[in-house]
Copies of this chain bind each other. A is one copy, B any other.
Amino acid sequence: MAKAYERIADNLRQRISAGELSPGDRLPAETTLVEEYAKSLPTIRQALGVLQAEGLIEKLHGRGNFVRRPRTPVLRTNLRHQWEKDRARDPASERAQTGATEHDTGLELGDLVFHAAYHEVAAEPEIAKALGVPVGTALVERIYRTRYRVEPAPFTLVRSYLVRDMVAANPDLLDESKEPYPGGTQSQLFTIGIELDRIEELVTARPPTVEEAEELATPAGSAVIVLRKTSYDTDDRPVEHSEVILPGDRTEMLYTTHLDRW
C-alpha cells in the first residue's frame, strides 16, 4: 500500500496540473483536506510539505496554501561582458545611461535599486586561489544588492573581490561612495590600465542557506544558482573574482558559444 501522504500529494499535484487549481488559487484549508482525505492533520501537512519542496505551492501563514505562480525570470546573458567592455572607456556621463543589468533585462535605470558596500578583508583560501594570490592577501570586498524598485527583495547577492595593492593606484576604487554604477567593474579597471581578455564563470546550484532564503525572499522549496566569476586581463592574470547568488526560480542565464568555421 502506498504511503498516505504520497497519495495525497499525487492527487493534489494532479488537480493542479489538470487546471482544477490554477496558479494563484488557494487550496482547501488544511482542516478541510483532513475531512476530504480522511487522514490526520500532520499527514495532510506532510503531503503539502512535499508540494512545497517541489516549489509547486506556497504556504502563507494565516492565509492559506496557494498554487505558485511561475516567476517572470530575470535574463542574464554572457553578451553583457562584451557590451560592458565596449563601454568601459566611455566617459562616465555616457555610461550613466544604463548598466549591464538593464541591458540584459530591458529595463530603465530607474527601475532598479542598487546598493554597494566596500570593506577590506584578508583573502580566504578559495578566493585567494581564484585570484592567484597567497591566502591572507589584502583584498577589497565589494558587496552588491540589486532589486526591482517595486519589489522588496533583491534578485542578486554579489560579493566581488579585487586585490587591494593592484587597484590602489586609483583611490576611488577603494571608496564605496565612488562606486560607478552603472558602468561596472571593467571601467574601474580601465582607470588603472587593465583590459580584460576573458571571463570565466563557474556555475553550480544548491538549496539556499537560511540567510540567502531570507535576503532573497525565496520561498522554502527552491534553489539558488551559485556563479563564481573570474575576470582575466590581457596578461592572463586574474584581476577580479566574484561570487553571485541568484534565485533559481527567477533567473535565466543565457550562454552563447560561437564555434570556429570549418
Contacts and interface: CB of A to CB of B under 8 A. Distances in A.
Contact of A198 (B42, B197, B222, B258): B258
Interface residues of A, dominant DSSP: mixed
Contacts of A257: 78, 81-82, 198-201, 255
A38 interface: no
Contacts of A224: 205, 223
A207 B261 contact: no
Interface of A: 42, 53-55, 73, 78, 81-82, 85, 89, 195-207, 209-210, 220-225, 234, 248-249, 251-262
A89 B260 CA distance: 14
A180 B104 CA distance: 38
Contact of A255 (B55, B200, B234, B260): B200
Given A85-B259, A203-B252, A205-B205, 14 more contacts: A54-B209, A81-B259, A85-B262, A199-B259, A200-B254, A200-B255, A201-B254, A203-B225, A203-B254, A204-B249, A204-B251, A205-B225, A207-B221, A234-B261
Contact of A196 (B54, B196, B234, B259): B259
Most B CB atoms within 10 A — which of A209, A234, A258, A260?
Answer: A258
Contacts of A254: 200-203
Contacts of A55: 206-207
B253 A202 contact: yes
A42 B49 CA distance: 15
A248 to B, nearest CB: 3
A248 B54 CA distance: 15
Contacts of A204: 73, 225, 248-249, 251-253
Contact of A256 (B196, B198, B222): B198
A89 B259 contact: no
A196 to B, nearest CB: 6
B255 A197 contact: no
B255 A203 contact: yes
